[in-house]
Amino acid sequence: MITTIGEIVRGDAAVFPPYLYEAYRSTLRRAPRLPLVEVPLTASELTRPRLDVGRLTAEDADLTRNAGTGGEALGQRIIVAGRVMDENGLPAPGALLEVWQANAAGRYIHKRDDWPGPLDPNFLGIGRCLTNAEGEYRFLTVRPGAYPWGNHENAWRPAHIHFSVLAPSWSQRLVTQMYFPDDPLLSLDPILNAVPEGARARLVAAYAHDVTEPHWALGWRWDIVLAGPGATAFEALEQSAA
């Protein structure tokens, strides 16, 4: 894919995509053009962000049944499980994971998704959970379908699940997308390809037979590694200030 790639990146340029990636058209008028200003991390960024989400239930992590209809979503039932950690492998317990995805036919419930793929009345495509003490998470859902978009002629997004991670430290905030390995659309997708080549595979889940449950659901494993100093840095900062 030949495209103009901008030089402005926040974080490690070997990991994070540049803001300007011409092949993804929406970056053209939204990418900053002036250099980011490098500043030290302070308590403002290291403090744990507390988003009021109310009490989470097990149903919040079951996208096959959380539409409130009493019915079950159609599609291949899958389990997506993994661990959220920092770069040193320390788990991130209590991280809020929020996921959203298209249904098995590739259609979102969103009011602005209007391509002629069928909606599933029993599927919202929204879930959330907190990681446990080991940083582990687990969602039950259906495998999302691919869908067309207007970026270029005959453009289709590969099947993916959006992940938002609110970690112990706000400086570790991450929003990303998880993909499936057997998808021929991956190499054609400018959003995935905006990630430096050496880091792209990190967004692709692995089939995990030990996560698969007999007579129930196929298992996929996807671990998330957060950049930068976590809650331990905040504690160190507090101690140095004390």
Answer for which of 74, 130, 174, 208 binds another protein (CB under 8 A) is: 174
Measured from the CB atom, the residue of 37 and 133 that comes closer to another protein is 37
CB of 137 to another protein, least distance (A): 13
Which residue from 3, 4, 7, 36 is in contact with another protein, where contact means CB under 8 A?
Answer: 36
Question: With contact defined as beta carbons under 8 Å apart, do 206 and 221 qualify?
Answer: yes
Q: What is the residue type of 145?
A: G
Decide if 106 contacts 144 (C-beta within 8 A).
yes
What is the nearest approach in angstroms of another protein to the Cβ of residue 109?
6
CA 222 to CA 162: how far, in whole Å?
13
CA 140 distance to own-chain centroid? 15
Position 162 contacts another protein (CB under 8 A)? yes
User: How far is 51 from 171, CA to CA, in rounded Å?
Assistant: 15
Active site positions, annotated:
108, 147, 157, 160, 162
- The residue within the footprint of another protein, chosen from 7, 59, 87, 134 (CB under 8 A), is 87
Cα–Cα distances (Å) from 156 to 112, 190, 222, in that order, read 16, 10, 23
The 101-120 site mask, x for binding another protein (CB under 8 A), equals: -x-----xxx-xx-------
Q: How far is the CB of 205 from another protein (least distance, A)?
A: 12
Which one of 1, 56, 119, 236 is in contact with another protein (CB under 8 A)? 236
**How far is the C-alpha of 127 from the C-alpha of 120, rounded, in Å?**
16
The site that binds another protein (CB under 8 A) totals a number of residues, namely: 83
